[in-house]
Structure 1
Amino acid sequence: MEKTTMLRRRAASWWALTTAFAAALPLSATAAPPIANLPAVPALMQCSLPAFQALNLSGVADDGGQVSFSSATLVDVSSSNPAAYCAVRGVISPGASSIVMNLPMATWTQRYVQNGCGGECGNDNLGAPTQSSGCVPVVKGQLVTATTNMGHTSAQGSAWIVNNPWAAIDFAYRGVHVTAQVAKAVIQQFYGQPATYSYFDGCSDGGREALMSAQRYPNDFNGITAGAPANNMDVQNTYHHANRLLTNQSTPGTIPLPARNTYLLLRGNLPYIHAKVVAACDALDGVSDGIIDDPRACKFDTNTLVCANNGNESGCLTQAQADAAFRIHDGAKSVAGHRLEPEIASEWGSELDWTLYMPDAQGGTASSENFVTSWLYKTYLNEPYLDEATSTPRTINDLTWKVPAYRKTVKSSQLYSATNPNLTPFAAAGGKLMLWHGWADQHISPQGTLQYWETMTSTTANSDDFARFYLFPGMGHCGSGLGPNTFDVLTPMMSWVETGTAPYALVANNATTGVSRPVYPYPTVARYVGSGSTNDAANFKPFTPKKKSGVKVTNAGDYLYSADFPQVHCTALGTQIACDTGD
């Protein structure tokens, strides 16, 4: 009880400090932030496979991993490529984590950016960092960038982890870490000097990888940007996705293939639901623009969707359909009614993207089904998560899915979840963290990121010195959506690390709708000044609510968001995985 009181006091103190911080800053704080003026360093090596195979990288990976290079190709300047670079590929043993690097030949300005990988990864396509629109070092080809497939390939399908413990370990945490170690060593030898600054940028599972790096390896990166993190991976790919699918079925239960359940809500119902939600909640932020600023304030009554209650409007729903809409919004609960994830799984305003867990037609397969079946089929993920004593069987096709209460011996979460809120070592190393999430995210609920933010800021002292959190109204998963969905998070991070200029407003745009808005560090939001176009970011100012939202993020898995919850380290013993338990 004493510890809980202390954490609450810290959270209240942080809220007050953030409010004062927002009020003290000028409205002009949306100008492009400065970054260090670092001279370009040319390559000292040739871009050739023999040159890379001759590199001495022995002992670089702290677990003894070895690097084998397979290609090194010079890519010249073109209409789509601003600067020549060396494209390098290799594999880091003992697992099969790839390392893919792009090393500028003459334009490198001493920065290294490692890109995260979304979904369950399995690919190593190296593109521009996520949400880096207009970032000068990106535009001019001045960065060394790298990524990894995290120990497996997409061609392996859902079987990539079966009897392959190194794939499990590499995906959990190792692949990103050893890639950083090897990439930095390659930079040292390719240019004759180390990277002055190192950054990690990722969204979705890339956001989980970002938080995992901050939690497990606080010295790997100077700055980390984590978007829409799937930090509670077990819950994300079981309760979260499966509940939204199953709650939409009229006859849940064990039904053998090829028969399928009948879905209550289909894609054709979503425009009607969305229109009613927007009509009820759009103007709560003072502007009627089709974007709900903070959907937690929307107390939408799904009974208003029912034909009997609204005069049989065109597109209206049955009571069963309206109830399904509420359950999809509300989130997963155990048989006893305990929340298995934070309140609100699907935010009001995101309805047009609920297609993720609805098939095209009756009898079809929704994407959410594939997420869950793929995750639960994996040997090293399924068994430790189930608790037979408190389970209730349901089904997704021929796979029996169990809805257990949480267990404090969840080995899978100890391996894959990036929920440890104690970032004191990361802060002590001088690291900076920028968290961001779209309020209309159809894949990963922003409530999970809110839970991490609240526990992290309550656990780690002086969190406002090294961390910021941004919530983008109307933005979907890592982008898309009706709200402002394109922005640059990388330049503000570089500015913070390199010049000490803490980030404030991020200006986000939507090229389709023409909307432009400033997005301020949470809990501050943008409010219309009362004149000028509501599509123009210049016509908004910061406003910090006096009270916190009444929506609670607490759930049966709160213990996962504790500095006392151990993150295990594992190794392979043949086809088995062996982990230290942290006990």
Structure 2
Amino acid sequence: MTTEARTAGTSRTAVRPRRRWGTAALALATGAVTAATLAPTAAAATTPTGCADLVGTEVPADAIGLPTSGAVVDSATVVPAAAPLPEYCDVRFTIRRVDPDAPDVSARVNLPTDWNGRGMHFGGGGYNGVVPEATGNAPSAPPDTPPPLARGYATFASDSGHTGGNATFALNEEALVNFGYAALKKTRDVAGALIRARYGTDPHHTYFVGSSQGGREGLTVAQRFPDDYDGVLSRVPVVPFTALQLAGNRVGAAVAAGGWMNAAEIQTLTDATFAACDPRDGVQDGLIARYPDCDPDPAQLLCPPDVDPATSDTCLSAAQVDLVRTVRSDLELDVHLANGVRSYPGWPAGHEALSWPFWITGAAPLPETQAPGAVQPGGAPFPGTSAVANFGAQWVRYAIAQDPDLDTRTFDPDDPRWRERIREVSEIVDSTDPDLSAFRARGGKLIMQEHFGDYAQSGFAGARYFESVVDELGRRRTADFARLYVSPGADHGGQGAPSLVDWVSLLETWVEDGEAPRRVVQSGTVGTVARTLPACQYPEWPRYRGGPVEEAASYRCTGSHGHHR
């Protein structure tokens, strides 16, 4: 299939719109991409354009695959080479809104003077709201890996259609749809037009890389816009997004109900988890590599009747045990979310001290000095609350209830009055469609990576999504184009365990040369010790078989291909 044909293909959103949308959301989803709409931009880009000459360039609305009021280049500046980056043209552009009350989409594309013929879309993070520079490295890249821009990629990114790293944007329907998926398509189409204008041709391959929110966005483009991307790297994707926020809000309620834990109590929990699970992978080394079935009973830590939990850090209160159970248990929902999802999996046990103090019990100041107050703070974000609860509470307030004053700790997602809105929001934002057959058919490749010391989101959620793809397409067909690799013990950002891999090189080789990754080795540290470890494919885990504990060659991947958690 030619580049022009791929670019001109009808978007999946137009072919199969999401179910049960509100009127405004459905209207924003019906823009189709056709050869006719892209023709004006393609025809104008027959001669390469100088960097400064891009200023003021207009990309018409009919050249963008979803509804906009067109786009304009605000600035274009040559940035001199400075290691590790080459000389490039820094182009900033605005994609104009349709709804006059909605924000515009702000975006950029970096155009290297020495272009390698490829494009790379960088995803965002958190609730987005800022334009990523797209000059840094791809997720999980080892420190000595050259950034994509240094390799000659034209890189681009956007703020997803709002400013400010919080969920207040969700009060506007166009902004919500932009965040969910539409800004990705709009940014890709405008960046593609500017790449074509600068170099006189389209990229011969286009990739997407992202972590966390960007990981969800990577799955989004593979599901909704399969003709636009040749390869996707999705690290620790926050899916299913709506269910994750409801689970996070539930965690916040359990923290506020007496489950809050200080640093010493979290260490008590961590020590008990390591005692139960660390040796089960064949070596006691400060890393729980056998992650799929580590689930010790927190009731063993309950303070005996003669010990006051308020004065002891070596045992837990009943409310704290309930918090641990809440974190590790599935959230079951009465409502059917997008693609039939009805639950969010519990977080994995292990490595709690690495990230519980931020994600679960309190963001700032340090958890030993900041228990939650009796009154939920207002605003966005909520100061002093745990990060996972903060994200969840904001989503409940602004996207679902659309009430900035709602006390989210009493919010019940099974209350019938919220059911339709939860479903509608899920259809817009959740990236859980298991049917990746169109992406596979066009030769697309997907690499996912999950961290199992991650308390921002549960690694089992990405695993469930991947298994849903297997259920949809079959294991053999899925293995042709998609892999899920695991990093036991790594936190959301990849700290605490080996998790570093040059995924861009592996993805590029798979896409362009047809060579799938073989034995993948990830690097990092456990404590202060440098380690390497096999990157096993889910649900396998690295079992120690003898030799230096610090070396990947001392492990082999083991486990069954059944469903876990």
* Cα distance in 2 for residues equivalent to 1:376 and 1:434: 31
RMSD, matched Cα: 2.9
Equivalence map 1:214-253=2 (5 Å): 214-238=222-246, 240-250=247-257
Q: Which runs of 5+ in 1 are unaligned?
A: 1-42, 251-261, 385-394, 553-583
* Cα distance in 1 for residues equivalent to 2:227 and 2:238: 22
* Cα distance in 2 for residues equivalent to 1:138 and 1:472: 23
The one of 298, 304, 308 equivalent to 2:304 is 308
| Displacement of 1:397 | 4.9
Equivalence map 1:34-433=2 (5 Å): 44-48=48-52, 50-54=53-57, 59-63=62-66, 65=68, 66-79=70-83, 81-94=84-97, 96-105=104-113, 107-126=114-133, 127-133=136-142, 134-136=144-146, 138=148, 140-154=150-164, 157-162=166-171, 164-238=172-246, 240-250=247-257, 262-308=258-304, 315-333=314-332, 341-355=343-357, 356-359=359-362, 360=367, 361-362=370-371, 363=373, 364-378=384-398, 380-382=399-401, 397=407, 400-404=410-414, 410-433=423-446
Instruction: Indicate if the aligned counterparts of 2:88 and 2:112 stay in contact, CA closer than 8 A.
Output: yes
| Displacement of 1:128 | 2.5
Match of 1:256 in 2: none
Instruction: Indicate if the aligned counterparts of 2:432 and 2:465 stay in contact, CA closer than 8 A.
Output: yes
| Displacement of 1:348 | 3.0
Larger relative contact order, structure 1 or 2 (CA cutoff 8 Å, min sep 6): 1
The residue type paired with residue 534 of structure 2 is P
* Cα distance in 2 for residues equivalent to 1:343 and 1:309: 32
* Cα distance in 1 for residues equivalent to 2:112 and 2:541: 39
Number of matched pairs: 476
User: Percent identity among equivalent residues?
Assistant: 26
Q: Which runs of 5+ in 2 are unaligned?
A: 1-46, 99-103, 336-340, 374-383
| Displacement of 1:468 | 0.5
The residue type paired with residue 159 of structure 1 is T
Instruction: Indicate if the aligned counterparts of 2:112 and 2:154 stay in contact, CA closer than 8 A.
Output: yes
* Cα distance in 1 for residues equivalent to 2:313 and 2:67: 65
| Displacement of 1:198 | 0.5
- 1:270-297 CA distances to partner (integer Å, 9 max, x unpaired)? 1111011101110111021111113232
* Cα distance in 1 for residues equivalent to 2:508 and 2:249: 39
Matching of residue 435 in structure 1 with residue 448 in structure 2: yes
* Cα distance in 2 for residues equivalent to 1:153 and 1:70: 17
The one of 500, 519, 525 equivalent to 1:505 is 519
| Displacement of 1:489 | 1.5
Answer with 449-458 or 521-530: which moved more. 521-530
Match of 1:487 in 2: 501
Question: Which SS does the other structure have where 1:211 is aligned?
Answer: helix
- 1:506-536 CA distances to partner (integer Å, 9 max, x unpaired)? 32222543121121222333232312x2111
* Cα distance in 2 for residues equivalent to 1:413 and 1:335: 14
User: Normalising by structure 1, what TM-score?
Assistant: 0.75
* Cα distance in 2 for residues equivalent to 1:477 and 1:192: 40
Change in CA separation of 1:293 and 1:309 when aligned onto 2, cut-off 3 Å? farther
User: Normalising by structure 2, what TM-score?
Assistant: 0.78
Instruction: Indicate if the aligned counterparts of 1:121 and 1:150 stay in contact, CA closer than 8 A.
Output: yes
Instruction: Indicate if the aligned counterparts of 1:329 and 1:348 stay in contact, CA closer than 8 A.
Output: no
* Cα distance in 2 for residues equivalent to 1:467 and 1:230: 18
Match of 2:41 in 1: none
Match of 1:561 in 2: none
* Cα distance in 2 for residues equivalent to 1:414 and 1:206: 18
Instruction: Indicate if the aligned counterparts of 1:507 and 1:516 stay in contact, CA closer than 8 A.
Output: yes
Answer with 116-125 or 293-302: which moved more. 293-302
* Cα distance in 2 for residues equivalent to 1:69 and 1:547: 49
| Displacement of 1:305 | 1.5
| Displacement of 1:334 | 6.3
* Cα distance in 1 for residues equivalent to 2:137 and 2:306: 49
Instruction: Indicate if the aligned counterparts of 1:69 and 1:88 stay in contact, CA closer than 8 A.
Output: yes
* Cα distance in 1 for residues equivalent to 2:534 and 2:228: 31
| Displacement of 1:146 | 0.3
Match of 1:527 in 2: 543
Match of 2:457 in 1: 444
* Cα distance in 2 for residues equivalent to 1:412 and 1:372: 14
